[in-house]
Chains A and B, each alone.
Chain A
Amino acid sequence: GESVGLHLPTLSVQEGDNSIINCAYSNSASDYFIWYKQESGKGPQFIIDIRSNMDKRQGQRVTVLLNKTVKHLSLQIAATQPGDSAVYFCAENPSWGKLQFGAGTQVVVTP
């Protein structure tokens, strides 16, 4: 399944499929980006980060892609599991020391 962030705030994906969550960031001066996962009633949890001198970074089951030309960030989750159900936020740092968050995408994993 694939989401375009603010335009499709809920992404429904079948267990075992790959998920793609998209994010358009706003500030061309941002040079550091993070994806966070937030479960209900909990604080955001770090997933993966990427600096502006990179286009791609891989973690365990997750890949972040950065396209600075169009100011676009995506998070790919491989083999989505029920425990991946949460709200996912991208965050950028428009200035030193501060993170600016997007509105988030709700991911719902169905059996």
Chain B
Amino acid sequence: DTGVSQNPRHKITKRGQNVTFRCDPISEHNRLYWYRQTLGQGPEFLTYFQNEAQLEKSRLLSDRFSAERPKGSFSTLEIQRTEQGDSAMYLCASSSNMGDTEAFFGQGTRLTVV
């Protein structure tokens, strides 16, 4: 499968714990995005990488959230000291570098904070 891959698919954690999600984009795609989606809502933009550079961060991305893409390939999203309000689907997408093109999404990681 050469699509966007996200791991894990599901994560249940206790409040206060740290969690880390991984995204492997489509191999030739330079751009990588993280979105968060809560039930009944559209995806909300969190952050965006062009290769290894993090170019934009949403105000939704509090200081408990950090994203990295160290080698310009896979990316990780870490949430520290999780809160119940962090429960959501975290989606990763990637796109090519050729102007505005469609973003391909992974299946997401569903986080439940208990």
Contact = CB atoms under 8 A, between A and B. Distances in A.
Query: Taking chain A's interface residues, is the majority helix, strand, or loop, or is none over half, making it mixed?
Result: strand
Interface of B: 4, 31, 33, 40-45, 48, 50, 55-56, 91, 93, 100, 102-108
A18 interface: no
26 contacts: A31-B100, A32-B100, A42-B107, A42-B108, A43-B4, A43-B91, A43-B105, A43-B108, A44-B91, A44-B105, A46-B102, A46-B104, A49-B102, A51-B100, A89-B42, A93-B100, A97-B33, A97-B56, A99-B33, A99-B45, A100-B45, A101-B43, A103-B40, A103-B41, A104-B40, A104-B41
A100 B46 CA distance: 11
A36 B42 CA distance: 10
A34 B48 contact: no
Interface of A: 31-32, 34, 36, 41-46, 49, 51, 89, 91, 93, 95-104
A101 B44 CA distance: 7
Contacts, number: 55
Nearest to A42: B107
Contacts of A32: 100
A57 B102 CA distance: 15
Given A102-B42, A104-B41, 11 more contacts: A31-B100, A41-B107, A43-B93, A43-B107, A44-B43, A44-B91, A46-B102, A93-B100, A95-B56, A98-B56, A99-B33
